[in-house]
Structure 1
């Protein structure tokens, strides 16, 4: 499943500022990979600011070794922080434009791809952790975020009073994760992390947006 990115732009007669463009990132694959691996493989990462558990708990994997789980648990917090920072950042348009040049050397192309795509679990550990259950979980997740009910929702338009000041303070990207409860964090100068529950709850979302401004 690829990233699900929604850009919200103004309609005639709507109070949405004419030049405000916002990205809602509710399918960041690198983050979903980490969240699934943590629970499916019963990892026990230690950190001061780790996200809550998933709403849809995946089935537990039974293969692998205790040594793998221990190694993965140790690496998980730092990798989460790096992937989250990239998900909340602004892409470099020069790097993206450069990638469209077919004449650039392969080494430069690989470096640009790494810059644009950011760090990931797969780059660090390969595909060994991902099984058929992962494919089933991500397929169900894709069906959920592309359902007509979800696509009809417009929580940003319903919270313009809080959104506009946040945007003026630098907010360009809202990263949504399918985790339980409330977990709102500022991600660098441009991003805000929220849970799906927070974004769907008007008062909770208003408070989350107000925390950025």
Structure 2
């Protein structure tokens, strides 16, 4: 998203560009599996914005496995967004997105169509960046180039690499929360 036409009036640099991306399928799949199969994995993450309450499991193996898949997915995301597109195309190890297929099988859940249906219902707030104002400019000056909107119910933000931040849809929808997340990015979270 380039802020052409708004830069001068908002006090933003003319070359300021921030890309806002929807959650990659691999993250949506993991959030769905967490909600319907694992529940309490990564307690710092808010629940996914899905119907029903998240399940709970006492199986530590499942919780640990989910957390390992989440870490791998975030590392893949970081690497893809930190490299320029030409570099990604020359790295076959980055072509394959980590999937939690084994975990889904162990949970006896099939995320395919339910996750695709959920993804179709997600809508990012296109005006969130304009409402964030000065905090967005500060984050851009600190290196932020990509914001990934993650469908979670509560406030959440995490820096993923030097130029990428995950932020919950709930945080992005609230200018105060989004501003706080962007300032967190500036301060290194």
> Against the structure 1 CA distance between its residues 130 and 95, is the aligned structure 2 distance closer, same or farther, given a 3 Å change threshold?
farther
TM-score, structure 2 length as denominator?
Answer: 0.76
Aligned-residue offset at 1:140: 3.4
Matches within 5 A, 1:30-179: 30-42=26-38, 44-45=40-41, 47=42, 50-57=44-51, 71-88=61-78, 89-98=81-90, 112-122=91-101, 125=102, 128=105, 130-131=109-110, 134-145=112-123, 150=124, 153-179=126-152
Structure 1 residues 116 and 92: alpha-carbon distance in aligned structure 2, compared to 1, 3 A threshold: farther
Where does structure 2 lack aligned partners over 5 or more consecutive residues? Answer: none
Alpha-carbon shift at residue 53 of structure 1 (Å): 1.2
Q: 1:58 to 1:139 in 2, by over 3 A?
A: farther
Does the C-alpha gap of structure 1 residues 117 and 160 become closer, same or farther in structure 2, counting only changes over 3 Å? farther
| Pick aligned residue for 1:17 from 6, 10, 13 | 13
Change (3 A) 1:127 1:81: closer
Deviates more, 1:22-31 or 1:10-19: 10-19
Q: What SS does structure 2 have at the residue aligned with 1:18? A: coil
Number of paired residues? 178
Q: For residues 126 and 92 of structure 1, do their structure 2 counterparts lie closer, same or farther at Cα, with a shift above 3 Å needed?
A: farther
Displacement, 1:200? Answer: 0.5
4+ aligned runs moved over 4 Å, structure 1: 58-61
1:81 shift after superposition: 1.8
| Displacement of 1:87 | 2.3
> TM-score, with normalisation over the residues of structure 1?
0.69
1:189 maps onto 2:162 in alignment: yes
- Following superposition, the deviation at residue 210 of structure 1 comes to 1.1
Q: Distance in 2 between matches of 1:91 and 1:25?
A: 16
In structure 2, the CA distance between the partners of 1:212 and 1:162, relative to structure 1 (3 Å rule), is same
